[in-house]
């Protein structure tokens, strides 16, 4: 049985270029709003919790035999860019497979988080960023981190807590960023907190007289937090260039999306913020890129935030310790047929004929080679010295030169560079 929920709110496209979300004039006492939906298929499943005695399980109903839709033609990507994104997705997946092996060999300190099935969302979204833009990934967005310039060896060393890792062995998971070169804010485990931080980054840039795109992610579970509302509402009110991906992968730990929210599509939340909302198939790299690119362009033109809901499926458990036995098998099989890499590979090889089978084999071999070299390097790299454990906590005797990346605001240049309410317009030192 298909889900019976609020009907999607539909109407004419915005007449003002999408800058402000205005109600479509349906009638005097009824308003309708527009949510763009880029998908070529609209999976519709209901997941219900079933209790038998003390045992809890989930049942899913829907059409599991629906044919897989083709990849949607990108309005912006060319051959070279599509192949690059495909390579990032492969690197993302194969690096996670290598991490799983390292974990099983007892080399990983802590757990491993996977983005299996979500590679298109991570890689194609980050690919839409330009150098001056910023990224705030979550732990499942290792693909975004790769696209932004971290290498598989950085990530492997991080998981093994090696001295050469981005946090010098002081964190056993992916809480690392780079605010100097790559403009990456470290993942924050308190879900939703990255949203006001990235809004703040966009505000900081605005105060320097520039509009940038500040992209971050939140899950279907994490979007329920109060700080998600606060951060996005602040970005909306200030017209900040926040690009928020809601990664709706149908599960938050073992809670199915149907027990997490009542709206049909999380993109509908955008209406209440007064910003554009877009739905994409998170397993289609072209759709993800196009929505991300358009949102980033809006951000760079000072037109404010965009909320993009990427629909897909978490194809593994929450982390390596979770076998995800609670996930109904037909749901996994349905989404396995929509594997983002297999779909994109088919698109490049058979639909567009942009890659020959030989070129594809060479590309895959290149990824394998790179990963093997990085794995060897990471495994051979030393553990940190015990005395270094407390380093980076207190700044003593000037050991750290903490200088702001951007200058402080000092003079007025006009409205575009303003903090909206105060009109405190500024420019770079
Ligand atoms: C504010 C907050 N509450 C709870 C948690 C514990 N927690 C970590 S991951 C997770 C599930 C997140 O699910 P979702 O947001 O859908 O992301 P996914 O893991 O599916 O990518 C929870 C509840 C947390 N990290 N932060
Ligand atoms: Mg989720």
Q: Is the pLDDT of residue 420 over 90?
A: no
Q: pLDDT band for 27, please (50, 70, 90 cuts).
A: confident
Give the pLDDT band of residue 29 (cuts 50, 70, 90). Answer: confident
Of 222-226, 308-312, 390-394, least confident by mean pLDDT is 390-394
- Which residue, judged by its Cα, is nearest atom 19 of ligand 1? 252
Mind listing the pLDDT tens digit for each residue in 248-268? 999 999 999 999 999 999 999
The number of the ligand nearest the C-alpha atom of 221 reads: 1
CB 286 within 8 A of CB 71: yes
- Total Cβ atoms within 10 A of residue 215: 30
Work out the number of other CB atoms within 10 angstroms of the CB of residue 23.
14
Mutate to test the pocket of ligand 1, among 252, 261, 316 (most ligand atoms within 8 A of CB): 252
Closest CA to 281 of 162, 65, 120: 120
Q: Which ligand 1 atom is nearest residue 140's CA? A: 21
Catalytic residues: 314, 318, 326
Write the residue with the smallest CA distance to atom 17 of ligand 1. 219
- pLDDT, residue 15, reads 35
Torsion of CA 415, 419, 423, 425, to 10 degrees: -60
Nearest ligand to the C-alpha atom of residue 111:
1
Pocket of ligand 1 (CB under 6 A): 140, 189-191, 219-222, 225, 247, 249, 251-253, 314, 318
Inform me whether the pLDDT recorded for 270 exceeds 80: yes
Beta strands in 73-226 (DSSP E): 134-136, 214-219
Ligand 1 probe mutation, 187, 197, 221, 249, most atoms within 8 A of CB: 221
Residue 210 has pLDDT above 90, yes or no: yes
Place 370 in a pLDDT band, splitting at 50, 70 and 90: very high
> Nearest residue CA, atom 12 of ligand 1?
252
Considering only residues 162 and 5, tell me which one the structure prediction assigns the higher pLDDT.
162
pLDDT at 429 (0 to 100): 30
Please give the C-alpha separations between residue 61 and each of 43, 55, 196, 362, in angstroms, as whole numbers.
Answer: 11, 20, 37, 41
| Structure confidence at residue 397 as a pLDDT band (50, 70, 90) | low
CA distance 406 to 246: 29
Residue 173: per-residue pLDDT? 80
C-alpha 84 – ligand 1 centre gap (Å): 30
In this predicted structure, what is the pLDDT of residue 22?
A: 66
User: Using CA atoms, how far apart are residues 224 and 243, in angstroms rounded to an integer?
Assistant: 17
Per residue in 113-133, pLDDT (tens digit) is 999 999 999 999 999 999 999
Tokens 């194969």 map to which residue? 94
Closest alpha carbon to 184 in 125, 133, 128:
133
- Please state the atom number of ligand 1 nearest to the C-alpha of residue 252: 13
The percentage of the chain sitting over the pLDDT mark of 70, rounded to a whole number, equals 87
Mean pLDDT of 295-318: 98
Task: Provide the pLDDT for residue 381.
Answer: 98
- Closest listed ligand to the CA of 217: 1
Identify the three-state secondary structure at position 84: helix
Give me ligand 1 centre to Cα 220, in Å: 9
Range 257-285 average pLDDT: 97
Sequence-separated (6 or more) residues with CB below 8 Å from residue 99 = 108, 112, 155, 156, 159
Ligand 1 center from residue 219 Cα (angstroms): 7
Atom of ligand 1 nearest to the CA of 249: 20
Pocket test for ligand 1, best of 115, 188, 253, 258 (most atoms within 8 A of CB): 253
Nearest atom in ligand 1 to 220's CA:
16
Distance CA 370, CA 373 (A): 5
């Amino acid at each position: 049985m298909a889900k019976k929920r609020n009907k999607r709110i539909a109407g004419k496209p915005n007449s003002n270029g999408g800058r402000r979300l205005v109600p479509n004039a349906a009638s005097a006492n009824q308003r309708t709003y527009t949510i763009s939906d880029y998908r070529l298929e609209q999976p519709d499943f209901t997941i219900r919790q079933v209790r038998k005695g003390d045992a809890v399980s989930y049942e899913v109903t829907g059409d599991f035999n629906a044919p897989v839709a083709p990849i949607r033609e990108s309005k912006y990507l060319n051959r070279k860019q599509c192949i690059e994104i495909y390579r990032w997705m492969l690197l993302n997946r194969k690096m996670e497979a290598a991490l799983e092996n390292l974990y099983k060999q007892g080399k990983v300190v802590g757990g491993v988080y996977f983005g299996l099935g979500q590679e298109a969302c991570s890689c194609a979204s980050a690919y839409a960023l330009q150098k001056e833009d910023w990224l705030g990934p979550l732990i499942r967005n290792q693909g975004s981190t790769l696209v932004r310039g971290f290498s598989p060896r950085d990530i492997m060393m991080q998981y093994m807590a090696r001295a050469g890792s981005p946090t010098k062995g002081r964190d056993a998971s992916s809480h690392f960023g780079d605010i100097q070169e790559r403009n990456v804010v470290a993942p924050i485990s308190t879900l939703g907190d990255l949203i006001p931080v990235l809004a703040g980054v966009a505000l900081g840039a605005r105060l320097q007289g520039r509009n940038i795109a500040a992209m971050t992610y939140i899950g279907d579970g994490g979007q329920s937090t109060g700080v998600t509302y606060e951060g996005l509402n602040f970005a909306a009110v200030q017209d900040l260039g926040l690009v928020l991906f809601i990664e709706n992968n149908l599960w938050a730990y073992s809670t199915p999306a149907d027990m997490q929210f009542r709206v049909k599509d999380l993109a509908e939340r955008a209406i209440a913020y007064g910003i554009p909302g877009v739905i994409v198939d998170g397993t289609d790299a072209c759709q993800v890129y196009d929505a991300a690119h358009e949102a980033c362009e809006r951000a760079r033109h000072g037109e404010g935030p965009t909320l993009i809901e990427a629909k897909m499926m978490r194809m593994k458990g929450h982390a390596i310790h979770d076998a995800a036995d609670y996930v109904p098998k037909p749901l996994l099989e349905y989404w396995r047929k929509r594997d983002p890499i297999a779909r994109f590979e088919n698109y490049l090889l058979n639909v567009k004929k942009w890659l020959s089978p030989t070129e594809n084999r060479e590309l895959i071999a290149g990824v394998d080679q790179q990963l093997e070299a990085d794995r060897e390097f990471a495994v051979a790299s030393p553990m940190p010295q015990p005395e270094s454990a407390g380093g980076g906590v207190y700044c003593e005797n000037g050991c750290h030169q903490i200088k702001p990346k951007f200058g402080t605001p000092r003079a007025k240049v006009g409205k575009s560079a303003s903090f909206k309410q105060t009109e405190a317009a500024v420019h770079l030192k």
